[in-house]
Structure 1
Amino acid sequence: MAAQELIADIGVEMSRFPTAAHLVSWSKFCPQTHESAGRKKGKGRGKGNRWLAGTLARIVFSVSKADTFLGERYRRIARRRGKSKALVAAGNSVLTVVYQLLSDPQAHFRDLGADYDGTRINKDRRARSLASQLQAPTGQKIIIPHGKAVLVEPETA
């Protein structure tokens, strides 16, 4: 049903949109930024097609509980930034997928999986980052040789 509503709202002819970003911008399902005197102010999203926005919201809420890439994307952003921003970000991703599928008839959807972002994190770099965050308030030097954290005593002069 949601696919029918999406096609009714945006059509199947994607040649009028050069890229997926153009489709997202046309649908007003991307955050707006207003800049004045060098200061950037977030203004939410624009007033686009409310039927398309409702359809995208239903799609995002249905995948938000699923163990998929889009579901994990929604949950990760919702923890950090809030549910409304996560809805716009995941809706943006849904529109990008729809654009890719409609613009290329040979394309097939393949979910990246819920652990996609976790597999792309360099564990050594993340450990060094956490160690440096711990060093700032405590003043102790932490090094991580061979995956084990070691506290180095400061030299007394």
Structure 2
Amino acid sequence: MTGFGATCAQELIAELGVDMTVFPTAAHLASWARFAPRANRSAGKTKPATTGEGNPWLASTLGEITAVLARSDTCLGERHRRLSRRRGKLRAIVATGNSILTVVRHLLTDPTARYHQRLQHNLIHQLERVTGQQVTLSARVEPAAT
């Protein structure tokens, strides 16, 4: 996955462990890591709320991964840039870190799972909506050079 080097992967595994049965859902993991949004409401008024103090080593690792993703041409990079424009850099880091934790939990829960970018899938659906026809992809066979 883009943004993950060997060191970042080792740090994530060191902080989270490999047994994801401890966290029933990805939301539980994000909440434990203090990378989940909080809604602090009382009497119909929304008040400012922070995510709280979590594991500083996990937070720094997620921050490094987010910094790399912010400069990449991936769906998580685009998400970070979009949120950064609308909500600010710090909130974008927390939201992107939450998404990273969700991906990491799914990858550690199912060893056969692989992370794939959804660009191809999204483009196919866009083309189907525009044309009204079903689209299928096949591998392109390059002619042999003579």
TM class by shorter chain equals 0.7 to 0.9
Return the alpha-carbon distance in structure 1 between the equivalents of residues 39 and 104 of structure 2: 25
Q: Match of 1:35, SS?
A: strand
The one-character-per-residue Cα deviations of 1:55-114 (angstroms, maximum 9, x if unpaired) are 000000011000001100000111111111111111000000000000011100102249
* 2:80 corresponds to: 74
State the TM-score, normalized to the length of structure 1. Answer: 0.71
Task: Determine if the alignment matches structure 1 residue 88 to structure 2 residue 94.
Answer: yes
Q: Where in structure 2 are there 5+ consecutive unaligned residues?
A: 1-6, 131-146
Residues 31 and 42, structure 1, Cα contact 8 Å, conserved in 2:
no
The one-character-per-residue Cα deviations of 1:104-131 (angstroms, maximum 9, x if unpaired) are 11100102249x59x77x89xxxxxxxx
Aligned length: 121
Residues 27 and 36, structure 2, Cα contact 8 Å, conserved in 1:
no
State the TM-score, normalized to the length of structure 2. Answer: 0.76
Q: Which has the higher contact order (CA 8 A, sep 6+)?
A: 2
Work out the percentage of aligned pairs sharing the same amino acid: 51
Task: Determine if the alignment matches structure 1 residue 100 to structure 2 residue 106.
Answer: yes
* 1:151 corresponds to: none
Residues 68 and 112, structure 1, Cα contact 8 Å, conserved in 2:
no
Return the alpha-carbon distance in structure 2 between the equivalents of residues 110 and 50 of structure 1: 29
The one-character-per-residue Cα deviations of 1:27-46 (angstroms, maximum 9, x if unpaired) are 01112222222212231211
Residues 77 and 86, structure 1, Cα contact 8 Å, conserved in 2:
yes
RMSD: 2.2
Return the alpha-carbon distance in structure 2 between the equivalents of residues 22 and 100 of structure 1: 13
Q: Where in structure 1 are there 5+ consecutive unaligned residues?
A: 124-157
User: 1:5-154 alignment to 2 at 5 Å?
Assistant: 5-113=11-119
Q: Match of 1:59, SS?
A: helix
Which one has a larger percent strand, Structure 1 or Structure 2?
Answer: 1
Larger Rg over CA atoms: 1
Q: Match of 1:62, SS?
A: helix
